[in-house]
């Protein structure tokens, strides 16, 4: 009986909505143009945007074993669908006001989409060019 009463109470609760004073719910692996304008309007380039809003996009993991020697694998960067040879340095070349969205793909998703060589995932930058 108590379970039914508790269940009825939970079902009767109104769905929470964003009211005044509540924080917007931003996606962990996506930065939108609107979020950039709201939260970092003074950012000059894509690298600054990422560093301020989602620094985990830039995290490097070490690959290999301790015995064989490990190496750092940088995250791959795609700007408007094109792989950048300069990786994160290319993010400095993308002006913040041109960004439509920046998306992070996990290593698994990036490898499925683009093939091997994405141990740290991929950053996809879409611009309005």
Tell me: the pLDDT tens digits for 29-50?
999 999 999 999 999 999 999 9
Place of tokens 């950053």: 123
Considering only CA atoms, give the Rg of the chain. 20
Structural domain total, the chain: 1
The pTM of the full predicted model, rounded to 2 decimals, is 0.75
Map tokens 């290999």 to a residue. 64
Please determine, for residue 79, whether its predicted confidence score (pLDDT) is greater than 90: yes
> 84 by DSSP, 3-state: which?
coil
* Structural domain contains residue 95: yes
Q: Are 105 and 117 in contact (CB under 8 A)?
A: no
The predicted structure's pLDDT at residue 129: 73
Distances, alpha carbon 35 to alpha carbons 50, 99, 102, in Å? 11, 11, 11
Confidence at residue 5, expressed as pLDDT on a 0 to 100 scale: 45
- Digit-coded pLDDT (tens) for 2-19: 554 444 444 444 444 444
**Mean pLDDT (the chain, rounded):** 82
- Classify residue 93: in a domain, yes or no: yes
**Which residues span the domain enclosing 99?**
27-61+71-127
Output the pLDDT for position 20. Answer: 52
Q: pLDDT value at position 16?
A: 42
Q: Is residue 52 part of a domain?
A: yes
CATH number where 122 lies: 2.170.130.10
pLDDT of residue 64: 54
pLDDT computed for residue 3 by the predictor: 52
């Amino acid at each position: 009986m108590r379970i039914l009463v508790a269940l009825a109470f939970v079902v009767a609760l109104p769905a929470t909505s964003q009211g005044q004073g509540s924080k917007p719910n931003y996606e962990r692996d996506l930065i939108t143009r609107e979020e950039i304008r709201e939260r970092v309007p003074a950012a000059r380039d894509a690298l600054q945007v990422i560093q301020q809003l989602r620094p985990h996009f830039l995290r490097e993991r070490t690959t290999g074993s301790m015995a064989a020697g490990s190496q750092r694998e940088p995250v791959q960067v795609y700007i408007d669908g094109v792989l950048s040879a300069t990786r994160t340095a290319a993010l400095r070349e993308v002006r913040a006001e041109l960004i439509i969205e920046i998306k992070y793909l996990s290593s698994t998703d990036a490898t499925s989409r683009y093939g091997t060589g994405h141990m740290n995932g991929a950053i996809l930058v879409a611009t309005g060019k």
